[in-house]
Protein backbone atom coordinates (compact mmCIF):
# COMPACT_ATOMS: atom_id res chain seq x y z
CA UNK A 1 0.00 0.00 0.00
CA UNK A 2 1.36 3.42 -1.00
CA UNK A 3 0.32 6.89 0.07
CA UNK A 4 -0.11 8.48 -3.36
CA UNK A 5 -1.09 5.34 -5.26
CA UNK A 6 -3.66 3.92 -2.88
CA UNK A 7 -4.64 6.21 -0.02
CA UNK A 8 -5.24 9.52 -1.81
CA UNK A 9 -7.19 7.91 -4.68
CA UNK A 10 -9.32 6.08 -2.11
CA UNK A 11 -10.22 9.48 -0.61
CA UNK A 12 -10.77 11.33 -3.87
CA UNK A 13 -12.29 8.67 -6.14
CA UNK A 14 -13.02 5.25 -4.67
CA UNK A 15 -14.54 6.37 -1.33
CA UNK A 16 -13.49 3.08 0.30
CA UNK A 17 -12.11 2.87 3.80
CA UNK A 18 -8.40 2.17 3.69
CA UNK A 19 -8.01 1.04 7.29
CA UNK A 20 -9.18 -2.49 6.52
CA UNK A 21 -5.52 -3.05 5.61
CA UNK A 22 -3.35 -2.83 8.77
CA UNK A 23 -0.43 -1.37 6.80
CA UNK A 24 -2.55 1.61 5.71
CA UNK A 25 -2.77 3.04 9.21
CA UNK A 26 1.01 2.93 9.48
CA UNK A 27 1.52 4.65 6.11
CA UNK A 28 -1.24 7.25 6.56
CA UNK A 29 0.41 10.62 7.22
CA UNK A 30 -2.09 13.37 8.12
CA UNK A 31 0.33 16.15 7.12
CA UNK A 32 0.99 14.68 3.66
CA UNK A 33 -2.70 13.94 3.05
CA UNK A 34 -3.70 17.49 4.05
CA UNK A 35 -0.97 18.94 1.86
CA UNK A 36 -1.91 16.81 -1.15
CA UNK A 37 -5.59 17.68 -0.83
CA UNK A 38 -4.90 21.39 -0.36
CA UNK A 39 -3.57 21.60 -3.94
CA UNK A 40 -7.08 20.85 -5.25
CA UNK A 41 -9.16 24.03 -5.18
CA UNK A 42 -12.37 22.23 -4.25
CA UNK A 43 -10.70 20.49 -1.28
CA UNK A 44 -8.96 23.45 0.37
CA UNK A 45 -11.72 23.84 2.96
CA UNK A 46 -11.60 20.19 4.00
CA UNK A 47 -7.80 20.21 4.25
CA UNK A 48 -7.91 23.40 6.31
CA UNK A 49 -10.45 21.88 8.70
CA UNK A 50 -8.15 18.91 9.27
CA UNK A 51 -5.20 21.24 9.81
CA UNK A 52 -7.22 23.01 12.51
CA UNK A 53 -8.09 19.65 14.08
CA UNK A 54 -4.62 18.15 13.75
CA UNK A 55 -4.84 16.47 17.15
CA UNK A 56 -7.43 13.96 15.94
CA UNK A 57 -6.55 10.33 15.48
CA UNK A 58 -6.11 8.95 11.97
CA UNK A 59 -9.46 7.17 11.77
CA UNK A 60 -11.65 10.23 12.40
CA UNK A 61 -9.58 12.17 9.86
CA UNK A 62 -10.06 9.60 7.12
CA UNK A 63 -13.77 9.30 8.00
CA UNK A 64 -14.11 13.08 7.68
CA UNK A 65 -12.48 13.04 4.26
CA UNK A 66 -14.48 10.04 3.03
CA UNK A 67 -17.76 11.65 4.07
CA UNK A 68 -16.97 15.23 3.04
CA UNK A 69 -15.17 15.00 -0.30
CA UNK A 70 -17.21 14.22 -3.39
CA UNK A 71 -15.95 11.33 -5.48
CA UNK A 72 -14.67 12.45 -8.86
CA UNK A 73 -11.56 12.21 -11.00
CA UNK A 74 -9.28 15.20 -10.39
CA UNK A 75 -6.28 16.13 -12.50
CA UNK A 76 -2.80 15.73 -11.11
CA UNK A 77 -1.57 18.95 -9.52
CA UNK A 78 2.17 19.46 -9.43
CA UNK A 79 3.47 20.49 -6.01
CA UNK A 80 5.18 23.85 -5.66
CA UNK A 81 8.92 23.70 -5.16
CA UNK A 82 11.01 26.32 -3.40
CA UNK A 83 13.45 28.46 -5.37
CA UNK A 84 17.10 27.78 -4.61
CA UNK A 85 18.15 30.55 -2.28
CA UNK A 86 21.62 30.94 -3.83
CA UNK A 87 20.14 31.61 -7.27
CA UNK A 88 17.73 34.18 -5.88
CA UNK A 89 20.47 35.99 -3.96
CA UNK A 90 22.77 36.03 -7.00
CA UNK A 91 20.08 37.52 -9.28
CA UNK A 92 19.15 40.09 -6.62
CA UNK A 93 22.76 41.19 -6.28
CA UNK A 94 23.56 41.14 -10.01
CA UNK A 95 20.53 43.11 -11.18
CA UNK A 96 19.66 44.96 -7.96
CA UNK A 97 16.18 43.42 -7.92
CA UNK A 98 13.78 42.85 -5.05
CA UNK A 99 12.78 39.30 -4.05
CA UNK A 100 9.67 39.43 -6.22
CA UNK A 101 11.45 40.73 -9.32
CA UNK A 102 14.35 38.32 -8.85
CA UNK A 103 11.99 35.32 -8.64
CA UNK A 104 10.28 36.52 -11.82
CA UNK A 105 13.68 36.84 -13.51
CA UNK A 106 14.62 33.29 -12.45
CA UNK A 107 11.65 31.95 -14.38
CA UNK A 108 13.09 33.22 -17.68
CA UNK A 109 16.82 32.81 -17.12
CA UNK A 110 18.53 29.68 -18.43
CA UNK A 111 20.86 27.53 -16.35
CA UNK A 112 23.86 28.90 -18.23
CA UNK A 113 22.81 32.47 -17.52
CA UNK A 114 22.33 31.69 -13.83
CA UNK A 115 25.76 30.04 -13.71
CA UNK A 116 27.29 33.15 -15.32
CA UNK A 117 25.54 35.43 -12.81
CA UNK A 118 26.69 33.27 -9.88
CA UNK A 119 30.25 33.34 -11.22
CA UNK A 120 30.20 37.12 -11.51
CA UNK A 121 28.69 37.69 -8.06
CA UNK A 122 30.73 34.93 -6.35
CA UNK A 123 27.59 33.44 -4.79
CA UNK A 124 27.21 29.68 -4.60
CA UNK A 125 30.89 28.76 -4.46
pLDDT tens-digit map of 54-93: 888 988 998 899 899 999 888 888 888 776 788 899 999 9
**pLDDT at residue 124 is higher than 70:** no
**pLDDT at residue 125 is higher than 60:** no
Q: Stretch 22-34: mean pLDDT, rounded?
A: 87
SS3 of 1, please? coil
Q: Is the pTM of this model over 0.75?
A: no
Confidence of residue 34 (pLDDT cuts 50, 70, 90): very high
Dihedral of alpha carbons 81, 70, 72, 11, sign: positive
pLDDT tens-digit map of 82-112: 767 888 999 999 999 999 999 899 999 999 9
Amino acid sequence: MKLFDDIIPSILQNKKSIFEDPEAERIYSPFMINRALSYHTDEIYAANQMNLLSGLDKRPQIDFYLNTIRAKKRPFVKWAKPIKEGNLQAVKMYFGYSDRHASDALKVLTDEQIAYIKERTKIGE
